[in-house]
Structure 1
Amino acid sequence: MTAQAPLAPTAATDDTAPPSTAAAPPRGRLGRVLGWVFVIVLLLGIALLSLRLLTASPDFAGTLHPESPGPNGAKALAELTREQGVQIEVTRSRTVAAASLSSGATLVLTDPPALSDEAVHELIDGADRVVVLTSSSRMLRLLDLGERSPAAGPVRADCAAVEFSRVGTIDADRMFTPAEGVAGCFRDDAGDAAVLRAAHGGTTITLVEGARLLSNQHLAENGNAALGLALLAQTDEVVWYVPSFGDGDRGDGEAVGLGELTPDWVTPAILLLFIAALAAIWWRGRRFGPLVAETLPVTVRASETMHGRARLTAKAADAPHAAEALRDGTRRRLAARLALSTRATSQQVADAASDRLRVPRGSLYDLLDGPPPHSDHELIDLARKLADLETAVDAAVHTERNRP
C-alpha cells in the first residue's frame, strides 16, 4: 500500500521541512512473528479458561445460604428466626438432615440440583413440615403443587393460614396456579398464588419463590421479614439443608460438573471454532503490511474556513447564529479601535462608541446585544447597521488622530 502524493503543494518547502517517513524501512520479520506468537498464546489462554469454566462445578452457596452475609444470602432471616427462640441446624448432608428431623421439626431447603427425584422424595417424606424456598419447575412437578404463572406483583395474604394473617403485602417475584387440592395464599385477582401449601401423607409442604424476597438485600422491604418468620418460626427446631454437588446421589456421589451435563458435541465445536478463528487471522492478517506514516503539509486559508462556515450557516437558515457571529466580530473590532480590552462586554463597547459618536447608548445596546433576528431580511438589516456603526467609529477615531 503506497501513499499518493498531493496533487499540488499548498505550502512552500525548504531545507528545514521534516523528512518524509514514507520510505522508512518496515519492521523486521522478528517483530511480526513475536506479535503473532503473543496473539496465539492469548487465544489459547482464553480457550483453556473457557474449558475450565465449563468443567467447573458452579457454587450455589451464596443463594439463600443461612450463613452467607452477602446480598443473596439468608443469614439475616436465620438470625431473625433464632431471635424467636427457634433452634436452626445447618447441614450440607442429606443423611445428617434426615437423622436430625425429630418430631415436629421443619425442613428448609432450596431446589437440590444434585439429588435425584428419589432422593428428594426420601428426604422430604421424613419430615413433618417442609418449606421450599425456591420454585423450580422440577420441584413443582415432583411435589405436584401446580404450574408457574407469568403474573407477579404486590399481593396480600387472603387465605385461611393463621401465620400469614399479619404478614401484610409482599411484592411477589413469581406467582403459581395451584393444582387440585393445593391451597394458595397471597392470591391476585386471577386466582394465582405466591405461596403454595399442600399435604402429602403426613408431610405439610409449603413452597414460595424467595430468592429475592427472603434475601439479605430485600428482607426489610414490605412484609418480607414477616413472611420469613411465618414460614420458619412455627416450630422449635429447623433443619436447614444446603444442597451441594458433593452430596449428590448421581454418579456414585461424585460431583456433577457443567461439562458433564452439556452435549458431547460442545467441546469439539469450541475447538473447531478456535481453529477457524486462527485460520481467519492468518488468512486476513498476512495481507496487511506495516503502517506507512507520511507528513502531508496542508495549508487552509482563513477565507476558505470563513466561506465554508458561511455556507453551512446559510444552508441551515440559522439567522440567530449568523447574527451572533456578526455581533461578536463587530464587538471585537470596535474594542480594538476604541482601545478597550479584548474581553470588553457589549455594554462597555456601546458606552465607548456612544461617547465617540454622541449618540444614545440605548440604541447601541440593542444593536450589539439585542434580540436575535428571525429572518434573512432582519439579518441583512442588522448586518448593514453593524457595518455602518464600524464605519462611523472608524471615521471618528481617524478624525481625532488627525487633529493638530
Structure 2
Amino acid sequence: MMGALIVLAGVTSVLLGGSRGPARPLDPDDTSLMGSKALAELLRVRGVTVDRVDSAQAAVDKAATGERLLLITAQTYVDERPLARLPGDRLIVGDVFGLAALAPEVRTQAQPARPRSRDPECPLPAARAAGSAHMGGVVLRGPPGSTGCYPAGDGHTLVSYSNGRGVTTVVGDGGFMTNQRLAEDGNAALALNLLSTGKPVTWLVPPENPPPGELPGEQGQSMYDLMPGNIRWTIYMAIIAVALAAFWRGRRLGPVVVEKLPVVVRASETVEGRGRLYRARRARERAASALRAGTIDRLTARLGLGHGAGPQEVVPALAARTVEDPHRLGAALYGPPPTDDAQLVELAGYLDMIERQLSEL
C-alpha cells in the first residue's frame, strides 16, 4: 500500500510540475503523459543512477565506465551496430528498428497485440513480483531456454534470456513505463524490477537536434503551397482537356494489337532471379538500395511530391499520412544498409507495410 502511494505521489508531482512542451515519448526528462520522468525519479529514489544519453557514441562511452544496463526504446533511431557489441544487460522496449542486431535470437510476429492488462504467467521474478501489467505491442518469441511472460496469441509481450555477456530483455510496448500508465496495475513494479538490477542505467533517447540528413525535418513551404489559387484551377482544366483529347483521338486508333513474342518471361520470375543473384553475391547493400529506391519512387507519387524529393520532404509528409514514427521512417528509407539477411528481410517487410498502410488511407 505504501509503495502504491509513493508511485502515485511521484506521478502526480511529475504531471503537475515541470515545463510544458512537445511530448518526447519514453524520455526520462519528459513530464508529459507519454514521457517517463516519473519512472526515472522513482529509480533515483531507489538509489539507481539514471544517465540520459542521446547518441550511440555516448552510450558506448558510458559503457566504458563500468558494468551498466542499457535501455533502448522504439523512439530511438541510432546506428545499432556499436550498441550490439556492448557487453552487459539491455532492456529493449517496443518495435525497435534494428532488433535483429540487438536481440538476434528474438523473433517477432506480424500482428501486434492490443495493449491491455495481462497476467505474467511465467517464473521470471521481476514479472511475478509485479503481477498484472498493461502490456501489448509486438508479439515476441524467444530462443530456447528463454523466459516468456504476459502471453499474447502464440507468443509473449516480454521475453528475457541470457546472451552470454548479460541478460537481454525485450518488451513489446513501453506504455507501462509512461507517466500516464505508471500508477496502474503493476506497471511501476514491473518497470522498477526490470531496471533496478544494482547497475547504473544508460537511457538512450533521440537527439533533440538530429544531424542534417539523418532525421529529416521541416524545410518550409513547397512550390505547390506557394502557387496562387487561380493557377491551380488553370492546371486542373488543362489536365481535363488533355484527358478528353486523348480519349477522343484514342478511339480512332482502334484496339491494341498484341504481338506474338518468341519468349514471354513473367515479371515474378525476373524479380526472383535478381533476388537470387543478390543473395549469391551477398549484395545486401545493393538489394537494400533497390528496395528503398523503388519504395521512395512509389511513395513520392502517392504523396504528391516531385521525383527528386529528398528525405526532408518525404519523411515528414509520410509521417503526417501514417501513424509511423518519423525517426523509424527515416531509418528505413535513408538509414544504414543492413548487415545480414535477417535485417534485409525485416527492412523489406517494413517497407511493404508502409506502402500498404499508405494505399489503405
For 2:108, give the aligned amino acid. Answer: E
Query: Which residue of structure 2 aligns with residue 371 of structure 1?
Result: none
Q: Which among 80, 95, 98 is matched to residue 135 of structure 1?
A: 95
1:279 aligns with 2:223: no
The aligned residue for residue 377 of structure 1 is none
Q: Percent of counterpart pairs with the same letter?
A: 20
Of the candidates 193, 206, 216, which is equivalent to residue 257 of structure 1? Answer: 216
Of 111, 121, 126, the residue aligned with 1:158 is 121
Pick aligned residue for 2:61 from 96, 99, 120: 99
Question: CA offset at residue 168 of structure 1?
Answer: 0.8
Retained in 1: the 8 A contact 2:137–2:173? no
Q: Which runs of 5+ in 2 are unaligned?
A: 1-20, 237-361
Task: Find the residue that maps to 2:113 and give its secondary structure.
Answer: coil
Deviation at residue 157 of structure 1 after TM alignment: 1.7
Per-residue CA deviation, residues 97-126 of structure 1 (Å, 9 max, x unaligned), is 21222443111122365423xxx1312422
1:225 aligned residue (171, 178, 188): 188
The alignment partner of 1:65 has SS state of coil
In the alignment, what sits opposite 2:155? Answer: 192
Q: Kindly tell me: are residues 125 and 246 of structure 1, through their superposed partners in 2, closer, same or farther at Cα, counting changes over 3 Å?
A: farther
Query: 3-state SS of the aligned residue for 1:173?
Result: strand
1:85 pairs with 2:44: no
1:222 & 1:136 partners in 2: Cα distance? 25
Structure 2 counterpart SS, 1:243: coil
The alignment partner of 1:188 has SS state of strand
Q: Secondary structure at the match of 1:213?
A: helix
Q: What is the number of residues matched between the two proteins?
A: 212
Once residues 202 and 48 of structure 2 are traced to their aligned partners in structure 1, the CA distance between those partners, rounded to angstroms, is 10
The structural deviation recorded for 1:163 is 2.0
Closer, same or farther: CA 277–192 of 1 in aligned 2, 3 Å: farther
1:160 CA displacement: 2.9
Write the letter of the residue equivalent to 1:231: L
Q: 1:82 corresponds to which letter in structure 2? A: R
Q: Alignment partner of 2:170: what SS?
A: strand
Contact in 2 for aligned 1:61/1:242 (Cα 8 Å): no
The 1:190–1:104 alpha-carbon spacing in structure 2 relative to 1, beyond 3 Å, is same
Aligned-pair distance for 1:224?
Answer: 0.7
Contact 1:106 1:235 in 2 (8 A): no
Distance 1:219 1:181 in 2: 31
- The correspondence for 1:126, drawn from 78, 83, 86, is 86
Gapped regions of structure 1 (runs ≥ 5): 1-58, 261-266, 285-404
CA distance in 2, matches of 1:194, 1:60: 28
Alignment of 1:263-302 (within 5 A): 271=223, 275=227, 278-281=230-233
Pairwise CA distance, 1:272: 5.5
Choose the corresponding residue for 1:169, options 110, 126, 132: 132
Counterpart-to-counterpart distance in 2, 1:204 and 1:273: 52
Check the 8 A contact 1:124/1:130 in 2, yes or no.
no
- The alignment partner of 2:144 has SS state of coil
In structure 2, what is the Cα distance between the partners aligned to 1:175 and 1:111? 11
Tell me, yes or no, if structure 1 residue 74 matches structure 2 residue 11: no
Superposition pairs of residues 324-339 of structure 1, within 5 angstroms: none
CA deviation after TM superposition for structure 1 residue 273, in Å: 8.3
* Aligned 8 A contact 1:245 1:255 in 2: no
Q: Are the counterparts in 1 of residues 133 and 185 from structure 2 also a CA contact under 8 Å?
A: yes
Asked whether the 8 Å contact 2:113–2:152 carries over to 1, the reply is no
2:330 matched to which residue of 1?
none
| 8 Å Cα contact 2:142/2:159 also seen in 1 | no
How far the C-alpha of 1:215 sits from its partner, in A, is 0.5
For 1:106, give the aligned amino acid: L
The within-5 A match list for 1:4-403 is 62-101=24-63, 102-111=65-74, 114-116=77-79, 120-136=80-96, 138-140=98-100, 143-144=103-104, 145-148=106-109, 149-152=111-114, 153-181=116-144, 183-188=146-151, 190-244=153-207, 246=209, 255-258=214-217, 271=223, 275=227, 278-281=230-233
TM-score under structure 1 length normalisation: 0.45
Q: Kindly provide the amino acid, as one letter, of the partner of residue 244 in structure 1.
A: P
Rounded Cα–Cα distance in structure 2 between residues aligned with 1:80 and 1:72: 16
TM-score normalised according to structure 2 size = 0.50
Question: Residue 69 of structure 1: SS of its match in structure 2?
Answer: coil
User: Residues of 2 paired with 1:61 and 1:71: CA distance?
Assistant: 8
Q: Distance between the aligned counterparts of 2:32 and 2:22, measured in 1? A: 12
1:117-140 CA-partner distances (Å, limit 9, x unpaired): xxx131242230011222235425
Q: Is the 8 A contact 1:186 1:194 kept in 2?
A: yes
Cα separation, partners in 2 of 1:122 and 1:60, compared to 1, 3 Å: farther
Structure 1 pair 92–60 and aligned structure 2 pair: CA distance change class (3 A): farther
Q: Which amino acid aligns with 1:185?
A: G
Looking at structure 2, the residues matched to 60 and 186 of structure 1 have their Cα atoms a distance apart, in angstroms, of 33
